[in-house]
């Protein structure tokens, strides 16, 4: 089996993947969703020239001609009915419309009112304290493009434009299929030679966070017919299979997929952990992503492959983005597989942030993964790296 590089495998996995359908989503439910259609402003924001401060609306031409005559008030949501004539001023509050005729606001700390008279104390170079109509955006402007992922600040932007619901890509339906003769569900009784399904619940959660509607399927054993039936009947867009992918006599998942006519896109990658990763497409268009059974391998592959795939299925892009950090402790040269090492952030000797690879990199050790803040990326055949030298780290969480 020749192993693909991580990049080549990801490219093969994502080839031709796109969203299938869109739906209206209320803003309260839209966090993390990918837009299918643009959000367009139907009016200017602000919709009128507005005061940025509490104070007095004045005409620049009148400054130096005090006292000004106080002729009324402009409050937010109400405004001032008339227009401001020469020598006049209007009491104004933050967010209130600037009266016709006024062109600036003097903040109340820089003015003195006595009866109907106002004396301006503001320096000549004081700001105008006016937010011009359309300063944030104008009517017809595209505020958010298709493919943008909604977050709290983008939701606030859509709401500012009066948009109550947005068109988002449909959530992919994902079935998670774990199993093996030795695997039982957490919460059930386990025999002495059995282990609990850890990868299934972890991977399901990765998929949910990436926007999928997840159906965990009942655990399957090692029998080919059983696995084949589970693959055949899952009414989803993507089946994520955990385990049974390697070279052992009981690894029957790929043969079952092949019997159903699956076309293999990825079959083995030069990555540690994650070597047995595979991906295929069934004749009816459903996709299969096969993750290694070792739970740390499955979850690391979840970060590097499942998340980008689910983003692409929603019209978005979410490639793993590494940061650069100095190493706290030296690392030896790497072998021929790209290595994603479980790592923790620490305070370096100079008091700044650094990162250290955790001592046990066994892909069955969930205590290590759960204590990791990130994954250090070591390229295939990378030479040794000394303490203080920079490495790439993918933050987790």
Ligand X SMILES: Nc1nc2c(c(=O)[nH]1)N[C@H]1C(S)=C(S)[C@@H](COP(=O)(O)OP(=O)(O)OC[C@H]3O[C@@H](n4cnc5c(N)ncnc54)[C@H](O)[C@@H]3O)O[C@H]1N2
Residue numbers at the binding site for ligand X (CB under 6 A): 178, 180, 182-183, 195, 197-200, 242-248, 251, 273, 275-276, 292-295, 297, 363
Stretch that binds ligand MOO, among 139-147, 212-220, 256-264, 270-278 (CB under 6 A): 270-278
Closer CB to ligand MOO, 172 or 273, in the complex:
273
Binding pattern to ligand MOO, positions 294-323, x when CB under 6 A? x--x--------------------------
Q: Of all residues in this chain, which one has the CB nearest to ligand MOO in the complex?
A: 297
Q: How far apart are CA 257 and CA 264, in angstroms?
A: 9
**Which is closer to ligand MOO, CB of 22 or CB of 300?**
300
Q: Which two tokens stand for residue 323?
A: 């940061």
Beta strands, E only, 124-182: 130-131, 142-144, 165-169, 173-177
Quote the radius of gyration of the chain (alpha carbons, Å): 30
216 touches, from ligand MOO, ligand X, none (C-beta below 5 to 8 Å by class): none
Q: Of residues 14-33, which lie at the interface with ligand MOO (CB under 6 A)?
A: none
Question: Would you say 49 or 197 has its CB closer to ligand MOO?
Answer: 197
Taking the C-alpha atoms of residue 396 and residue 376, their distance in angstroms, rounded to an integer, is: 11
In this complex, which beta carbon is closest to ligand MOO, that of residue 34 or of residue 340?
340
Q: What does the block give as tokens for 396?
A: 């987790």
Asked if residue 274 binds ligand MOO (CB under 6 A), the reply is yes
**Cβ atoms of 368 and 358 closer than 8 Å:** yes
Q: Is 204 in the site for ligand MOO (CB under 6 A)?
A: no
Sign of the dihedral defined by the CA atoms of residues 375, 379, 384, 385, in that order: negative
Answer yes or no whether residue 272 interacts with ligand MOO by CB under 6 A.
yes
Taking the mean position of all CA atoms in its chain, how far away is CA 392? 20
With 0-12 / 13-18 / 19 or more C-beta atoms within 10 angstroms meaning exposed / middle / buried, residue 294 is buried
Q: Which stretch binds ligand MOO (CB under 6 A): 85-93, 177-185, 266-274, 314-322?
A: 266-274
Q: Which residues neighbour 72 within 8 Å (Cβ) at sequence distance 6 or greater? A: 80, 81, 82, 90, 91, 99
Write down the least CB distance from residue 186 to ligand X, Å. Answer: 9
363 binds ligand MOO (CB under 6 A): yes
Residues engaged in binding ligand MOO (CB under 6 A): 272-275, 292, 294, 297, 363
């Amino acid at each position: 089996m020749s192993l693909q590089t991580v990049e080549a495998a990801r490219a093969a996995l994502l080839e031709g993947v796109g969203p299938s359908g869109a739906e209206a989503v209320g803003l309260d439910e839209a966090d993390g969703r990918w837009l299918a259609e643009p959000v367009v402003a139907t009016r200017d924001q602000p919709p009128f020239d507005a005061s940025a401060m509490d104070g007095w609306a004045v005409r620049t031409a009148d400054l130096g001609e005090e006292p000004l005559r106080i002729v009324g008030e402009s409050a937010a949501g109400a405004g001032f009915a008339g227009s401001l004539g020469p020598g006049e001023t209007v009491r104004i509050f933050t967010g209130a419309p600037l009266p016709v005729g006024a062109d600036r606001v003097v903040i109340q700390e820089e003015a003195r009112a006595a009866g109907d008279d106002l004396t301006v104390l503001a320096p000549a170079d004081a700001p105008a304290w006016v937010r011009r109509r359309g300063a944030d955006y104008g009517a017809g402007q595209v505020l958010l493009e298709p493919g943008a992922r909604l977050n709290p600040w983008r939701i606030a932007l859509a709401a500012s434009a009066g948009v109550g619901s947005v068109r988002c890509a449909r959530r992919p339906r994902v079935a998670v299929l774990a199993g093996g003769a030795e695997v039982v569900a957490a919460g059930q009784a386990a025999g002495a030679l059995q282990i609990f399904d850890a990868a299934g619940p972890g991977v399901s959660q990765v998929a949910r966070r990436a926007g999928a509607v997840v159906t965990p399927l009942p655990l399957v054993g090692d029998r080919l017919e059983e696995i084949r039936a589970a693959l055949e009947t899952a009414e989803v867009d993507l089946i994520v299979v955990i385990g049974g992918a390697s070279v052992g006599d009981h690894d029957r998942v790929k043969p079952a997929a092949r019997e159903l006519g699956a076309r293999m896109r990825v079959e083995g990658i030069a990555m540690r952990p994650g070597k047995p990763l595979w991906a295929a497409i069934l004749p009816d268009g459903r996709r299969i992503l096969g993750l290694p059974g070792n739970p740390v391998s499955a979850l690391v592959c979840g970060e590097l492959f499942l998340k980008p795939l689910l983003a692409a299925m929603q019209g978005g892009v979410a490639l793993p983005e590494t940061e650069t950090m100095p190493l706290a402790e030296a690392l030896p040269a790497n072998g021929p597989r790209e290595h994603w090492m479980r790592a923790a952030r620490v305070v370096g000797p100079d008091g700044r942030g650094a990162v250290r690879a955790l001592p046990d990199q066994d892909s069955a050790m969930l205590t290590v993964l759960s204590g990791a803040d990130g994954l250090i990326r070591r390229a295939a055949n990378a030479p040794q790296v000394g303490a203080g030298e920079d490495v790439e780290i993918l933050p987790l969480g």
